């Protein structure tokens, strides 16, 4: 299952200085699906895999990951089966097998019941559990051992996200000469929030094992620098706004806002079959003169319940839009085994039923709720069909849905209403920015957005699309890797 490497990635071997790139992440880039007597290789969805998969293919890289496969045998056994079935795995994947106890403590526990709520400012949902921390530490050691076993001093080791914050220092302790980068895909919180974490110093020490530390926005970078300076006095010294010294090493801390594959999404949106799907969607909503859209993973940070209340308030304040506007809410299942998420799904189900019960009339239903995953090709048709997208997370590291929505509008039609609490708001200032906690203001923003002139909508969308096209996923990758090289030189020169 090899793929043709597209032109934007042709420069990558030069940026890497012909080094091998080793990606370390919680999620695997591919998984093998066994159906009856057949075996199929399937790429994992998501921006990170989309960005890095072509690079690893073009440079014969390595991806170290958790083997989260639901198959009844290990990933390496399935790889042998794949070879027997003539299924080509495009580069080396080194999966780490975790026990159910590991997953419960490291993933469900410390990562998602402690770090996730704390870093997203949901402090009331945070409660420290020492057992979860112990599990997190042990699993991070497993990942670090896999890196140490596989890596050489010339490789570029790029560790991804909050699941693996201890790995950089654990690897550094084994070999001071390793080239280590880290990227945090969620917000990094302010000092007053971060210091609530009992293991705050251990987490900082872990991340500071890196040569380059990346975040989405300047504010996350600034917060990390402040936490390191205040919580590790005498161990960290600030050189400038993007550099500090730790254990006699200069470390670069910088913002690299992640993005989407603009050309791919724009191309999908321009296909005749997409246009046909858009027309079918519109015809399926006879009272859908105006179509609004929300797309989210089912998570309390995304503000889905709050969004539904804003839609209800909109219909209360502007009754003339009843039987004219429909709102489609797509919720992608997430952490379905966690009781808290099960409860949230029930609350959303009830809110949809309550609002539809209140406003529905003469065959018109205001909210259409779709609880399932969508392939990108199908999702692009929903983006194209929507006259506005309401993206109102209560806190979000970036939010790629906002960027995908704009990339899917080559007709310059459509309006983006975006939460100020997203990392994307730092770039997408031509959207209608809202405070997601101010429900009346969000309802008002919906009214202003749909009543803006065609010229205003077109100008806003043109500015948004130009920003996303220029700052696409390829640029994110290129900027990080180029800065990674600078960080390695900085460390090596320091010891010459």
Segment (H or E) for 238? strand 236-240
> Given a cut of 60, is residue 335 above it in pLDDT?
yes
Closest to 142 in 3D by CA, of 254, 238, 239, 65: 65
What are the residue numbers of the active site? 185, 396
- What is the average pLDDT value for the chain, to the nearest integer? 91
Delimit the domains of the chain by residue range.
7-258+474-494, 263-470
Residue 387: what pLDDT? 97
What secondary structure letter does DSSP report for 485?
A: H
> Given a cut of 60, is residue 494 above it in pLDDT?
no
Beta pairing partners, 389: 293, 416
Q: Place 5 in a pLDDT band, splitting at 50, 70 and 90.
A: very low
Distances (CA, A) of 106 to 28, 95, 200, 256: 16, 16, 16, 27
Beta pairing partners, 21: 156
Residue 75: what pLDDT? 58
Contacts of 81 (CB under 8 A, 6+ apart): 32, 34, 39
pTM of the shown model: 0.93
Distances (CA, A) of 320 to 125, 284, 314, 323: 39, 21, 10, 8
CATH of 7-258+474-494, one of 3.40.50.410, 3.20.20.100, 3.40.50.2000, 3.90.1150.110: 3.40.50.2000
Determine the average pLDDT of the residues in 62-90. Answer: 68
The runs of H, that is alpha helices, within 60-161 are 75-84, 100-102, 116-119, 130-150
More confident residue, 26 or 493: 26
> Given a cut of 70, is residue 11 above it in pLDDT?
no
CATH 1.10.600.10, applies to 263-470: no
């Amino acid at each position: 299952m090899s793929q043709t490497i597209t032109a934007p990635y042709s420069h990558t071997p030069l940026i890497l200085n012909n080094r091998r790139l080793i990606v370390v992440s919680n999620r695997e880039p591919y998984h093998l699906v066994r159906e009856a007597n057949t075996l199929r290789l399937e790429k994992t969805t998501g921006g990170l895999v989309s960005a890095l998969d072509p690079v690893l293919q073009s440079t014969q890289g390595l991806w170290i990951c958790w083997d989260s496969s639901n198959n009844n045998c290990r990933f390496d056994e399935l790889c042998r089966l794949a070879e027997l079935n003539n299924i080509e795995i495009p580069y080396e994947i080194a999966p780490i097998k975790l026990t159910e106890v590991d997953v419960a403590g490291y993933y469900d526990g410390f990562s998602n019941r402690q770090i996730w709520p704390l870093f997203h400012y949901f402090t009331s949902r945070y409660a420290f559990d020492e057992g979860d921390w112990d599990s997190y530490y042990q699993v991070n050691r497993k990942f670090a051992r896999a890196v140490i076993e596989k890596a050489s001093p010339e490789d570029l080791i790029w560790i991804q996200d909050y699941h693996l914050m201890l790995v950089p220092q654990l690897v550094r302790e084994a070999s001071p000469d390793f080239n280590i980068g880290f990227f945090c895909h969620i917000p990094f919180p302010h000092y007053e929030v971060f210091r609530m974490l009992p293991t705050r110093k251990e987490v900082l020490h872990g991340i500071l094992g890196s040569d380059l530390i990346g975040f989405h926005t300047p504010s996350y970078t600034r917060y990390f620098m402040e936490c390191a300076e205040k919580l590790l006095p005498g161990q960290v010294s600030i050189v400038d706004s993007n550099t500090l010294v730790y254990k006699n090493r200069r470390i670069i801390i910088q913002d690299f806002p992640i993005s989407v594959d603009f050309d791919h999404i724009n191309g999908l949106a321009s296909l005749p079959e997409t246009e046909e799907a858009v027309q079918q969607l519109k015809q399926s909503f006879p009272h859908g003169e105006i179509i609004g859209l929300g797309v989210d993973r089912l998570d309390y940070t995304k503000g889905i319940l709050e969004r539904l209340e804003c839609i209800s308030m909109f219909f209360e304040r502007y009754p003339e839009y009843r039987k004219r506007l429909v709102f489609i809410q797509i919720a992608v299942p997430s952490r379905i085994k966690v009781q808290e998420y099960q409860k949230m799904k029930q609350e959303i189900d009830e809110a949809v039923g309550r609002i539809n019960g209140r406003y529905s009339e003469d065959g018109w239903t205001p909210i259409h709720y779709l609880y399932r995953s969508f392939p990108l090709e199908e999702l692009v048709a929903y983006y194209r069909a929507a006259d506005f997208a309401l993206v109102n997370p209560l806190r979000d590291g970036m939010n790629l849905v906002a960027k995908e929505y704009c990339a899917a509008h080559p007709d310059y039609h459509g309006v983006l209403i975006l939460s100020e609490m997203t990392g994307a708001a730092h770039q997408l200032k031509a959207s209608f920015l809202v405070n997601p906690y101010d429900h009346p203001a969000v309802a008002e923003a919906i009214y202003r957005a749909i009543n803006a002139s065609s010229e205003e909508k077109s100008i806003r969308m043109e500015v948004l699309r130009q920003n996303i096209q220029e700052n696409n996923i390829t640029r994110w990758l290129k900027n990080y890797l180029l800065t990674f090289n600078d960080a390695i030189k900085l460390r090596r020169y320091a010891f010459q």
